[in-house]
Chain A
Amino acid sequence: MVSPDDVEKIANLADISLSRDRLGEFTREFNAILDYFNVLDTVREEAGEGGCEFNVMREDEITLSLPQDEVLALPRESEDGFIKAPRVME
């Protein structure tokens, strides 16, 4: 079981804020889902390898990128060809 404080802590880690008045209900639903996940405790690994996704390796070649002016038209602010971001240091 996780507590509302735990949920808030996880939310902070993920940079997600939760509204205070929904926190209790959110925690209850969260616990119901985690409780359902407990069925994974019964998993016994019987299979070995196996799968069907794979990665294709290639040389890292320089190709054309998107036009800079189109990309810089997307953020709220840019300067000298760079995107302006919030301050990291406080």
Chain B
Amino acid sequence: MKAAAPAGGDDPFNAFITRCEGKPAGKGMLAGLMVAVKDNISTRGIPTSCGSRILEGYTPPYNAHVVDLILGEGAGIAGKTNMDEFGMGSSTENSAFGPTKNPVDPSRVPGGSSGGSAAAVAAGLVPVALGSDTGGSIRCPAAFCGIVGLKPSYGRVSRYGLVAYANSLEQIGPLARTVGEVSLLMEVISRYDPRDSTMRDQPFSPRLTGDVKSLRIGVPAEFFGAGVDPAVAEKVRAAIAVMEEMGAHVIPCSMPSMAYALAAYYVTCTSEASSNLARFDGVRYGPSDDIRMPWHDAFREVRAKGFGEEVRRRILLGTFALSAGYYGKYYAKAQAARRNVRADFARIFRDVDVIAGPTMPTVAFRIGEKTDPLSMYLSDILTVPANLAGIPAVSVPCGMVNGLPVGLQIMGKPFEDERVLDVAYAYEQGAGR
């Protein structure tokens, strides 16, 4: 895909918050590759802001595990990429550093929250990038910018050094223009790290055969239901038909828990955020006001200046959902819903090898178009199920609608990241990209 002509400067789409001078080393699996790193992944000596004012001036004294791994394999860091503040958004408009633009059409959002990483890759500024995906934050921008992005299985990539937003949902993952490059980066970043106690020692071993003969592809009706743009649905059905022609079997299925998966996701992530973001008090790092003020006054003042509106909204929603009297109605119900989502996937996966559908219900929307928070949340409806269940999911480009990219989402069984990427590779080859 060809990116729109740069508007000038070396970062015309505002993909980066910080550019780095680092050069790639000459040895290793990633020798010579420059990698863009999302700004919620800690980098020693390089500011890490999470797109927020509350981390202004913060430079981590240590690297995230994935950063040590890519540097150890000879990659260089091209810079830290723009994002929705703390990962809270689906458009990269909620950044203290201004919105990122979509290289395919700069009047449109690149998706989010890893919008800077996706835009940097789509614009050809870097070959590969790292993002993080809590409810679709890798797959959404990959779909909107016309590139490939993988959310690994929960427990497949170390979260050490990833600034936490919703621990039970999020994973670091790769973005690139091709499945092959995503697979290569995944091979490096999935190496075991005992510092993440939810990580399993099961490094990714690439297997790109491109063979989908007799593969059983489940297609849930709910992924093509209300709210999904018919033109997007049609493109995705055509992509699935390509794999059918290559010998795969398409099996219609149903996922009733989709009725409440999005609500379960938002209750869970805001609850976890309300706890996680309590650490940002301006005392140990970040900007602080007069420490002679009483604690709560100092705390409230620094957070009022430092957090953007969406972050405040999510902290409040989570505080409310966890409060006495409402816990049973919101948080406990959301966890029951989450178990049902997992059970639905487990049931479907008894009869199929992978599940396919659209990544996003629409193509990239215009910058400034979605002003209502709920309408922005609704755009995550097709990506959150994979996070709730901890399963691997990839978005791979499958054509255009009105000149804007559409993503095909392929979801797999837990720890079958290899198969998910192999199916994406088969489609990529079969579609003759």
Contact = CB atoms under 8 A, between A and B. Distances in A.
Interface of A: 2, 7, 10-11, 13-18, 22, 26, 29-30, 32-34, 36-37, 39-43, 45-48, 50-58, 66-67, 70-71, 74-77, 83-88, 90
Nearest to B267: A37
Nearest to A38: B263
Q: Which of B307, B320, B372 has the most CB of A within 10 A?
A: B320
A10 B319 contact: yes
B160 interface: no
Contacts of A22: 309
A29 B412 CA distance: 35
A40 B343 contact: no
Interface size class of B (residues with CB under 8 A): 35 or more
B49 to A, nearest CB: 14
A52 to B, nearest CB: 4
The 7 closest A-B CB pairs, nearest first, are A47-B343, A86-B298, A40-B333, A74-B285, A70-B61, A17-B304, A52-B390
B107 interface: no
Contacts of B315: 14, 16
Contacts of B333: 40-41, 43
Interface string B284-311: 1100100111111111110110010100
Interface of B: 58-59, 61-62, 153-155, 168, 194, 197-200, 259-260, 263-264, 266-267, 274, 278, 282-285, 288, 291-301, 303-304, 307, 309, 312-313, 315-317, 319-321, 323, 329-330, 333-334, 336-337, 339-340, 342-343, 346, 372-374, 377, 389-391, 414-415
B374 A29 contact: yes
Contacts of B200: 54, 56
Contact of A40 (B274, B313, B316, B337): B337
A15 B316 CA distance: 10
B283 A83 contact: yes
B299 A47 contact: no
Nearest to B260: A39
27 contacts: A11-B312, A16-B303, A16-B307, A30-B317, A33-B317, A33-B374, A39-B263, A40-B263, A40-B267, A46-B340, A47-B340, A50-B343, A53-B155, A53-B390, A55-B197, A55-B198, A56-B194, A56-B197, A56-B199, A74-B59, A74-B61, A74-B284, A77-B291, A85-B291, A85-B295, A86-B291, A86-B295
Contacts of A33: 266, 317, 373-374, 377
A68 to B, nearest CB: 10
A87 B374 contact: no
A54 B194 CA distance: 13
A32 B374 CA distance: 7
A56 B195 CA distance: 10
B264 A40 contact: yes
A67 to B, nearest CB: 7
A35 B153 CA distance: 31
Contacts of B293: 86-87
B304 to A, nearest CB: 4
Nearest to A40: B333
Contacts of A17: 300-301, 303-304
A18 to B, nearest CB: 7
